[in-house]
Structure 1
Amino acid sequence: MKVILLTHEREVTRLTNTGGKALELFPHWCSRVIWSRVEADDGIVHLLSSNKAAVLFPKPVLSKETGDSMLQTPMEELSLYLNEIPETIIILDATWQEARKMIRQSPYLATASKYALTQGGDSQFNLRRNQIPGGLCTLECIIQLCHSAKMTEEALELEAAYIALNQR
């Protein structure tokens, strides 16, 4: 498994950015590309068009009362979701508000294959406010991906780094 953090420019300098820990610990399978609203990264576009990569993004959750998508994603987009972890996973390394904007403002991301984590649960990350229900921070996502990919040692190392970071 390879992980590419498609990082919002504002996220790079935030002290609360968790993706940097994965970059620091596992640079051989985790890398960073800075997202641009006006110019798509050719490497990311090529990976997504080759079907060897997918964007990590939660599946839409339907409201029982209205049948509406809680993430405001049209139902036809459910067909974009893969059942298995792809060779390369692209994580939108940003706040949830910024990540939604990245998807909306980048047609290549909006139409790309997606992968959603299957383990639920709310984030334990307490260094940022206004977390969405079920919305994990970048490092929590990578830890879950490592567990799913049977990369147990890496997951444990990342968990230890996450605990230390989260206790600041």
Structure 2
Amino acid sequence: METRTRFLLLQHVMEIAKKSNTGRVAALALANSKLITHGAPSGSYDLELLAEPGTWLLFPDGPTAPPDAPAPRQLVVLDASWSQARRMTQRLPALRMLPRLVLPPPEAGLLRLREPSHPSGMSTLDAVARAVAALEGPEVAVPLARLAALRVQRIAECGTLS
């Protein structure tokens, strides 16, 4: 699907092999996205991507952007567990400098595979769908929200997750 906002998914190396990983699903679903692996021993990536004008970080804690700030042109999404995401923000100074898009905690009834370790925790795909809704309107996010719900339903039907 097309979005005005570019999504830069920074995926922790430990997420790659997980069957429950939704960062890759989000990257495949969004035409205007890029998936980068963080933490691979031989991997490196261009940190200048994080310094592009209009770049924000989707993160549940920290300073939010001023209310009159223009919408982000690029949104960095950390595809990781809560503890991995927190360490990524500590280890990458460029992330700490970015204005933040903070989503409200998920409403009761959100389909989940497990209880999150952070009150605002949700899958990467759910977070991206909610960010699209906040930035570009709820109607634009409908396909992503449906994809997230279908993913949870299918995994629950299979009864396997690791």
Cα distance in 2, alignment partners of residues 143 and 3 from structure 1: 11
1:21-78 CA-to-partner distances (Å, cap 9, x unmatched) read: 222222x212201113887632xx3243333211111234xxxxxxxxxxxxxxxxx3
One-letter amino acid of the structure 2 residue matched with residue 121 of structure 1:
P
- 2:158 corresponds to: none
Residue 131 (structure 1) aligns with: 117
Check 1:131–1:122 CA distance in 2 against 1; reply closer, same or farther (3 A cut): farther
Per-residue deviation, residues 106-152 of structure 1 (Å, max 9, x unmatched)? 222223332222x4325835324443112222111111122123355
The aligned length equals 146
Residue identity matched to 1:8: H
Separation in structure 2 between the aligned mates of residue 116 and residue 31 of structure 1, nearest angstrom: 21
- Which among 81, 90, 98 is matched to residue 104 of structure 1? 90
The two structures have a TM-score, normalised by structure 1, of 0.73
Mapped contact 1:120–1:134 kept (Cα < 8 A):
yes
RMSD across aligned C-alpha pairs, in angstroms?
2.5
TM-score by length of 2: 0.75
Asked if structure 2 preserves the Cα contact closer than 8 Å seen for 1:122 and 1:134, the reply is no
* Residue among 35, 38, 48 paired with 2:38: 35
Percent identity over paired residues: 24
Work out whether residues 56 and 92 of structure 1, in 8 Å CA contact, stay in contact via their aligned partners in 2.
Answer: yes
Instruction: List aligned pairs for 1:58-69, cutoff 5 A.
Output: 58-60=60-62
CA shift digits 1:2-23 (9 cap, x unpaired) = 1111000011111111122222
Aligned partner of 1:17 among 21, 41, 62: 21
